[in-house]
């Protein structure tokens, strides 16, 4: 009998849940999205909670695309207020958003993230690279004697005699990462162009530039290039177990692990917050968060948090985000002004 | 006489002896395999425990450092009125330079023995959370503005790792976030007793901290989140599971429908847990409009996941009660319900409780279903008490382990192992309760 009555009680509880939930209004800001932006968002959220009477925002991760998908699911307190992204929002995502009623989106650029190429401190002397060398080492097919042939290069020295005679073993971000896109565009495709392969492949493909681009960014699958679908911690673990490996990291991750990793220059430029901010270092990307204008005023502290996130004290060159590894945006003042005026993305753009 | 007929007459004694030897040898080999198998499992367990304990126990201690801080009125109360609102307007960013300036005397004292030290390096040895600690103190004690107050801060994660011996001068050479002079200063401060390593209960009670402050990160929010979810799982899945199994086992007429239900329950028990997370997002959050990242949703999702386990265990327990007991009760005139609730259920209780606790322990260790409902997140604020707290954001213990392992600062590795230890302690405790209950309640016939 006891069991029966407690069952009844439990069923009553289950039935009353929606009513209870409806009575709850959300106090804290909900953020989802890019795992690259996550550390910055949680540092900003922590400082925001410390300094204001608003609750500390909740920052979930899961990737730029997953975050924007949640963001575009609709307007209302059961949807996220902010989506972090390590790439600009896509046209298709703006359309999905609009179809679900998310019309006024405010785009906020928080700064830049450098992508660096690092190897074990006591590994081979990987100190300087060019995009062309990476392309020649990692492309699935290269042009030789006027034809596309599978890439057979085994050591970096075969690609360029100035490089160490170590086997090619690169740990690159997997395709689900936003970093992969930047890596393909700024390193592999750039290298393809620099090496003159893009034009050669386009000529082979009868002038089809798109097909040539696709062929350029196709990476080897014979074990020389390894996709890492996990985080940078996984890349680091792989490099530590194989000293010949070279990994693609975020600048912030590298700066937190300089005692075990050494970084290589790209086209002669050492990656640092300075060289990335000035645009000298070629492989970097902007980081964003997207904000629903409709939620401003509905969720307490939302605009205050967004403004705090990109304030000089937080996102400026001396702020805690830069201390972690964010490359401060030289045009931060313009971003702050746009946010203050709540300027939204033009749906037609 | 008759025994002799079992021995085939054709076998000569020598061959018989050889056969016996082979049989004995086979048994000996099998025993060795068994011992080997147990040995491998024990070795795996010991390896796990040694690596987790070795890596995680240091997380329960922390390096603290004492410092005299001058609470400068010009910075902290620019209006000079001690107005609480005015003091609140001074953000933590203004407190950081205050620490640096206050450490100038300490720097001067250290300089003869540690030539490279500067106020900035010394301030860098203090946790990134120190300004917030100062600000909270000043807001609580506005009268202290203008005085010099001694504070005890957490030491920065890198210094803490050095004091604990996890990093050495050699391994940290080239670390851009750690200056050798800071290590020298840490040695001096430890000798002077200004800096000390001691037990740190805050690892259990503190909420999570951001990437810049591994030293301040704790498990508080995760523990509460896990406790709330386990409560929901227990309150919902035990009665529902037991009622379902009693009905299926004792009352339901055997038909194609009960067969379908049975097959589905067994199938449900084998469904990957992430599927329950997808269901949770679609049903509890999008359809029922329950809040995201809340233990209520996590608890409901884990209830769905635990139910099949409990139903299967309960049905097995009910089946193991000898039918003669029920028949005897029915024979002396008890109704079917009386027979079940008075006689069968109490005897099946040990099995039911064991199944429930094993189901709960399984639910306690789940991360995947929580991913989609927003519980794999950075949550800094504690949820409220019951029942409102069920709707506040929280994380869970395994989620905290996962979060810690993803972070760039190596100091988080230690905290991940520490969180695993806490999780293991809970699992061992739950399994011990299951064993004790079984021994206490078990009856033999």
Predicted local confidence at residue A152, as pLDDT: 86
For A242, A248, B91, B411, the CA distances from A225, given in Å and listed in that order, are 13, 11, 47, 30
**What pLDDT is stored for residue A310 in this prediction?**
92
The answer, yes or no, to whether residue B81 has pLDDT greater than 90, is no
Question: How high is the pLDDT of residue B166?
Answer: 84
Confidence at residue B439, expressed as pLDDT on a 0 to 100 scale = 85
End-to-end CA distance of chain B: 39
Residue B420 clears pLDDT 60, i.e. is over it: yes
Fold of B220-441: MetI-like fold (1.10.3720)
Q: Is residue A107 part of a domain?
A: yes
Helix (H, G, I), strand (E, B) or coil at B445: coil
* Confidence check: pLDDT of A58 > 80: yes
Does A22 have pLDDT greater than 70? no
Residues 6+ apart with CB under 8 A from B294: B375, B390, B391, B392, B393, B394
Is A21 domain-assigned? no
Residues A226 and A301 in one domain: no
Between the CA of residue B442 and those of A213, B201, B354, B436, B445, what are the distances in Å?
Answer: 71, 39, 11, 10, 10
B71-85, B252-266, B331-345, range with the lowest pLDDT: B71-85
Say how many CA atoms lie within 13 Å of A134 toward its Cβ.
30
Tens digits of residue pLDDT in A121-140: 888 888 899 999 999 899 88
B380's tokens = 């800094």
Q: Rounded to a whole number, what is the distance in Å from the CA of B19 to chain A's nearest CA?
A: 52
| Residue-level pLDDT at A23 | 40
State the Cα–Cα distance between residues A302 and B377, nearest whole angstrom: 18
CB-closest option in B289, B376, B380 to A78: B289
Match 């042009």 to its residue by tokens. Answer: A143
Residues A194 and A128 in one domain: yes
Which token pair is B96? Answer: 């950081």
> Mean of the pLDDT values across residues B320-330?
91
CA distance B423 to B430: 11
Residues in B touching A24 (Cβ below 8 Å): 291, 388, 391
B247's tokens:
């009905």
Flag whether residue A345 sits within 8 Å of chain B, measured between CB atoms.
Answer: no
User: Are both A75 and A118 inside the same structural domain?
Assistant: no
Give the closest-approach CA distance of A10 to chain B in angstroms. 6
A261 and A301 housed in the same domain: no
Inside any domain, residue A157: yes
Confidence class for position A87, pLDDT limits 50, 70, 90: confident
Whether the per-residue pLDDT at B70 is higher than 70: the answer is yes
DSSP A2-30: HHHHHHHHHHHHHHHHHHHHHH----S-E
Binning pLDDT at 50, 70 and 90, where does residue A347 land? Answer: low
Residues 292-321 of A with CB under 8 A from B: 313, 319-320
Query: How much is the average pLDDT of B212-218?
Result: 90
Look at residue A326 and tell me if it is in a domain.
yes
Is pLDDT above 90 for A232? no
Pairing of strands A30-33, A82-85: parallel
Q: State how far the Cα of B368 lies from the Cα of A54, in Å rounded to an integer.
A: 30
The neighbouring-strand residues paired with A114 are A284
pLDDT more than 90, % of chain B: 37
Q: Residue A214 falls within a domain, yes or no? A: yes
pLDDT bin (cut points 50, 70, 90) of residue B280 is confident
Residue A346 lies in a domain: no
Among the partner-chain residues B172, B376, B408, the one whose CB lies closest to the CB of A60 is B376
Q: Please, is A206 exposed, middle or buried when counting C-beta atoms within 10 Å of its C-beta (0-12, 13-18, 19+)?
A: exposed
Quick: pLDDT tens for A280-318: 898 888 999 999 999 988 888 999 999 999 999 999 888
- For the sheet containing B195-199, what is the strand order? B148-154, B61-70, B195-199
Are residues A51 and A91 located together in one domain of the fold?
yes
- ipTM of the assembly? 0.84
Domain count, chain A: 2
Whether residues A159 and A104 fall in one domain: no
In terms of Cα–Cα distance, which of A166, A53, A36 is closest to A113? A36
Q: Please indicate whether, in this complex, the C-beta atoms of A256 and B408 are within 8 angstroms of each other.
A: yes
**Do A201 and A320 reside in the same domain of the chain?**
no
Tell which of A254, A284, A314 closes a domain.
Answer: A284
**Do both A45 and A153 map to the same domain?**
no
Of B177, B235, B286, the CB nearest to A10: B235
- Among the three residues A284, A300, A318, which one is the final residue of a domain in this structure? A284
**Residues of chain B found within 8 Å of residue A51, distances taken between Cβ atoms:** 91-92, 135
Is residue B335 within 8 angstroms of chain A, CB to CB?
A: no
The angle that helices B13-56 and B411-441 make with each other, rounded to 10 degrees, is 130
Claim to verify: residue A64 and residue A198 sit in the same structural domain: no
Question: Pick from A243, A263, A284: which residue ends a domain?
Answer: A284
Q: Band of the pLDDT at A2, cuts 50, 70, 90? A: very low
Structure tokens at A11: 């069923």
Say if A324 is an interface residue toward chain B (CB within 8 Å).
yes
Indicate whether A21 pLDDT > 60. no
Say whether both A265 and A193 belong to one domain. yes
A348: which DSSP letter? T
B394 touches B228 (CB < 8 A): yes
Chain A within 8 Å of B120 (Cβ-Cβ)?
no
pLDDT tens-digit readout, B220-248: 999 999 999 999 999 999 999 999 999 99
pTM (predicted TM-score): 0.85
Query: Is omega for the bond preceding B387 within 30 degrees of 0, making it cis?
Result: yes
User: Above 70 in pLDDT, residue A6?
Assistant: no
A253 at interface of B, judged by CB pairs closer than 8 A? yes
Q: How far apart are CA A330 and CA A276, in angstroms?
A: 11
pLDDT band at A196 (very low <50, low <70, confident <90, very high): confident
Residues 6 or more apart from B260 whose CB is under 8 A from it? none
Q: What is the spatial distance between Cα A64 and Cα A57, in angstroms, rounded to a whole number?
A: 18
Nearest to B379 among A58, A121, A252 (CB): A58
The residue of chain B nearest to residue A34, with distances taken between CA atoms, is: B377
Say if the Cβ atoms of B286 and A73 lie within 8 Å.
yes
Assess contact for A342 and A296: CB atoms under 8 A: yes
Q: Say yes or no: A47 contacts chain B, CB-CB below 8 A.
A: yes
Residues A82 and A102 in one domain: yes
Packed helices B92-102 and B130-140: angle between N→C axes, nearest 10 degrees: 100
Q: Which residues of B touch A11 (CB under 8 A)?
A: 240
Which pLDDT value is given to residue A349? Answer: 45
How do residues B50-63 score in pLDDT, each as one tens digit? Answer: 999 988 898 899 99
Measured in angstroms, the CA of B23 and the nearest CA of chain A are apart by: 47
Residue (of B128, B183, B188, B177) closest to B159 by Cα position: B183
Is the CB of A17 less than 8 angstroms away from the CB of B288? yes
> Tokens in use for A36?
């690259």
Domain that holds residue A89: 26-113+285-340
A230 to chain B: nearest residue by CA? B406
Contacts of A119 (CB under 8 A, 6+ apart): A126, A239, A243, A245, A246, A247, A261, A262, A264
Mean pLDDT calculated for residue range A25-54: 89
CATH assignment at residue A191: 3.40.190.10
Q: Cβ of A78 under 8 Å from any chain B Cβ?
A: yes
Residue A19 lies in a domain: no
How far is residue B74's CA from residue B98's CA, in Å, rounded to a whole number? 11
Q: Which sequence spans correspond to the domains of chain B?
A: 62-200, 220-441
Structure tokens at A58: 């909740």
Mark whether A178 and A104 lie in a shared domain: no
The minimum CA-CA distance between B240 and chain A, rounded to whole Å, is 6
pLDDT of residue B7: 55
């Amino acid at each position: 009998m006891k069991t029966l009555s407690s069952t009844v009680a439990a069923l009553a509880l289950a039935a009353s849940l929606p009513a209870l939930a409806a009575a709850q209004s959300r106090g804290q800001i909900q953020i989802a999205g890019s795992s690259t932006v996550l550390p910055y968002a949680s540092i900003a959220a922590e400082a925001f909670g410390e300094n204001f009477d608003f609750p500390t925002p909740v920052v979930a991760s899961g990737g730029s695309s997953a975050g924007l998908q949640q963001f575009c699911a609709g307007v209302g307190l059961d949807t996220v207020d902010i989506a972090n992204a390590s790439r600009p929002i896509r046209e298709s995502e703006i359309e999905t958003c609009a179809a679900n009623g998310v019309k006024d989106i405010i785009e906020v650029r928080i700064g830049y993230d450098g992508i660096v190429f690092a190897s074990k401190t006591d590994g081979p002397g990987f100190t300087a690279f060019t995009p062309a060398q990476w392309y020649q080492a990692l492309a699935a097919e290269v042009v030789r004697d006027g034809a596309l042939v599978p890439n057979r290069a085994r050591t970096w020295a075969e690609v360029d005699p100035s490089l160490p005679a170590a086997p090619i073993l690169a740990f690159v971000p997997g395709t689900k990462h936003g970093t992969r896109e930047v890596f393909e565009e700024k390193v592999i495709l750039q290298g393809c162009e620099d090496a003159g392969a893009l034009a050669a492949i386009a000529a082979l493909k009868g002038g089809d530039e798109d097909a040539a681009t696709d062929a350029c960014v196709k990476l080897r699958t014979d074990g020389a290039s390894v996709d890492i679908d996990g985080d940078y911690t996984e890349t680091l673990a792989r490099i530590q177990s194989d000293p010949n490996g070279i990994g693609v990291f975020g600048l912030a991750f590298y700066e937190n692990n300089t005692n075990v990793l050494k970084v290589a220059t790209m086209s002669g430029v050492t990656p640092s917050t300075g060289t990335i901010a000035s645009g000298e270092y070629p492989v970097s990307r902007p980081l964003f968060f997207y904000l629903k204008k409709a939620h401003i005023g509905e969720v307490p502290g939302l605009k205050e948090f967004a403004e705090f996130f990109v304030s000089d004290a937080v996102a400026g060159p001396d702020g805690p985000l830069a201390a972690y590894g964010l490359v401060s945006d030289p045009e931060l003042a313009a971003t702050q002004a746009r946010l203050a005026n709540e300027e939204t993305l033009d749906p037609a753009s | 006489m008759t025994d002799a007929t079992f021995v085939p007459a054709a076998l000569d004694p020598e061959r018989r002896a050889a056969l016996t030897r082979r049989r004995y040898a086979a048994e000996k080999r099998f025993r060795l395999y068994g011992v080997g198998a147990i040995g491998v499992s024990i070795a795996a367990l010991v390896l796990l425990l040694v690596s987790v304990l070795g890596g995680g126990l240091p997380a329960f201690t922390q390096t603290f450092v004492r410092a005299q801080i001058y609470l400068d009125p010009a910075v902290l109360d620019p209006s000079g009125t001690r107005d609480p609102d005015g003091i609140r307007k001074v953000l933590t960013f203004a407190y950081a330079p205050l620490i640096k300036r206050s450490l100038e005397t300490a720097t001067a004292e250290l300089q003869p023995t540690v030539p490279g030290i500067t106020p900035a390096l010394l301030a860098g040895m203090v946790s990134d959370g120190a300004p917030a600690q100062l600000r909270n103190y000043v807001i609580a004690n506005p009268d202290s503005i203008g005085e010099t107050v001694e504070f005890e801060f957490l030491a920065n994660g890198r210094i803490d790792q050095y004091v604990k011996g996890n990093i050495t001068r050699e391994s940290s050479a080239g670390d851009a976030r750690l200056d050798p002079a800071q290590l020298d200063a840490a040695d001096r401060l430890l000798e002077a007793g200004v800096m000390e390593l001691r037990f740190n209960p805050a690892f259990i009670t503190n909420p999570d901290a951001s990437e810049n402050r591994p030293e301040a990160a704790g498990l508080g929010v995760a523990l509460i989140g896990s406790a709330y979810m386990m409560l929901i799982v227990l309150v919902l899945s035990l009665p529902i599971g037991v009622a379902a199994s009693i009905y299926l086992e004792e009352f339901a007429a055997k038909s194609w429908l009960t067969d379908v239900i049975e097959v589905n329950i067994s199938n449900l028990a084998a469904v990957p847990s992430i599927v329950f997370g997808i269901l949770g997002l679609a049903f509890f959050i999008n359809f029922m409009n329950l809040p995201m990242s809340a233990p209520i949703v996590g608890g409901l999702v884990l209830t769905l996941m635990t139910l099949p386990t409990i139903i299967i265990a309960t049905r097995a327990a009910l089946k193991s009660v000898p039918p003669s007991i029920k028949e005897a009760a029915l024979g002396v005139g008890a109704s079917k319900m009386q027979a079940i609730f008075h006689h069968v259920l109490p005897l099946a209780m040990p099995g039911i409780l064991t199944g429930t606790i094993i189901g709960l322990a399984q639910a306690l260790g789940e991360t995947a279903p929580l991913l989609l409902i927003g519980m794999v997140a950075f949550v800094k604020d504690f949820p409220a008490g019951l029942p409102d707290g069920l709707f506040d954001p929280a994380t869970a213990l395994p989620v905290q382990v996962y979060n810690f392992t993803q972070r760039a600062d190596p100091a988080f590795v230690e905290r991940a192992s520490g969180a695993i230890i806490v999780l293991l302690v809970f699992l061992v405790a739950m399994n011990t309760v299951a064993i004790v209950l079984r021994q206490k309640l078990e009856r033999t016939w």
